[in-house]
Amino acid sequence: MALTGRRILLGITGGIAAYKAAELTRLLVKAGAEVRVAMTEAASRFVGAATMQALSGQPVWTDLWDDRVKDAMGHIELSRDRELILIAPASADFMAKLAHGLADDLLSTLCIARRCPLMVAPAMNVEMWQNAATTRNVETLRADGVHVVGPASGGQACGEMGMGRMTEPADILADVQFFFQPKALAGRRVLVTAGPTEEPVDPVRVLTNTSSGKMGYAVARAAREAGAEVTLISGPVALPTPVGVTRVDVRTARDMFEAVKRDAQHADIFISVAAVADYRVKNPAAQKIKKANGHLSLELEENPDILAWVAALPKPPFCVGFAAESENLAQNARAKLAKKKLPMIVGNLAQEALGRDDSAITLYDAQGEHPLGRGSKLELARKLVEQVAGRLPPRK
């Protein structure tokens, strides 16, 4: 997506990753954005103002007392005509300042005086990222509506491994592009289920599956990015809640069914990504089952089909199912589309999707099949949301 004419203030703070801000500027300018750069004093020790000036094609600002600005209040004007302030890299120190509203240099003053949204791409050593104060500050920023991009995990300049690397410039660009994208689901309510369910066998054992919840969480995030009000009903997973999404935690398929029943009537769209256990143990043992010689049999009974129930409501939301198959994908996905009476189903091969960060998906509907290709689950979720938005009946 082009960023033609988008007015961005890129703030650079002190850290090794500041050199990546040069590449980020190049990408933003190439996409058509008009980029004004402001740097902290510390940032200018890592990357030169001349480099940033050449890449942005504009004067670079560092000093609160710069005499290129005519009056003392003029500095604030540097952020007034902006549509977005992007801080990349954002150091631990700068995020602490943002979280507490400090304004003791040009960039922090521009941030506190802004009228536009703020996006930050943290970059720091893993210990600094995990420090309790940083965690608190990031939470505060998120609660204040600041978009936090990353950080990523991997090798660090200090030689350590872990969370804290700045998200790569191309990925930050993608986030900026999504930020400026028209909001296709504004005013719509979306209900998403995600993750596995757990069916108790006894007080300490469960029947479950290898779903990580990553796809469902990506779908919830993509729907939120598209402007929807999103409720995510989640089985047990170890994933952070996407910003702005309401999350309801459940354990068993029946818990999930109850939670879905409460929300389905109000939803415009239901995207059922959860790998719901088809069966539960008929009589879970009240006490831990002891090992006995020989074999153990468990009697299973069928769980309710949550998606089929929602699709059969008198006025159902637009229902999207997921079919994770180990073979004959098209045939099995089509059979589910018909059986559950869905307008759309997403097919993927279980061995290419379960637990992984990427996948390859194909949409099936009455018109035929639409491959969305391979990519990260977030990329695919965004494409899926776009497809769903394009098929919605017009608003009453």
Could you give the residue numbers annotated as active site? 158
- Nearest distance from residue 347's CB to ligand C5P, in Å? 10
Does 319 help bind ligand C5P (rule: CB under 6 A)? no
- Nearest distance from residue 220's CB to ligand C5P, in Å? 14
Q: Which is nearer to ligand C5P, 268 or 305 (CB)?
A: 305
Q: 237-266: which residues touch ligand C5P (CB under 6 A)?
A: 253
Among 215, 232, 250, 276, binds ligand C5P (CB under 6 A): 276
Does 274 help bind ligand C5P (rule: CB under 6 A)? yes
Q: Which is nearer to ligand C5P, 144 or 278 (CB)?
A: 278
Does 363 help bind ligand C5P (rule: CB under 6 A)? no
Does 321 help bind ligand C5P (rule: CB under 6 A)? yes
Q: What mask, x for binding ligand C5P by CB under 6 A, covers residues 193 to 232?
A: x---------------------------------------
Q: Which is nearer to ligand C5P, 189 or 261 (CB)?
A: 261
- Nearest distance from residue 246's CB to ligand C5P, in Å? 19
Q: Which is nearer to ligand C5P, 93 or 268 (CB)?
A: 268
By C-alpha distance, which of 210, 207, 333, 336 is closest to 281?
Answer: 207
Does 191 help bind ligand C5P (rule: CB under 6 A)? no
Q: Which is nearer to ligand C5P, 119 or 253 (CB)?
A: 253
Binding-site ranges for ligand C5P (CB under 6 A): 193, 253, 272, 274, 276, 278, 303, 305-307, 321-323, 336
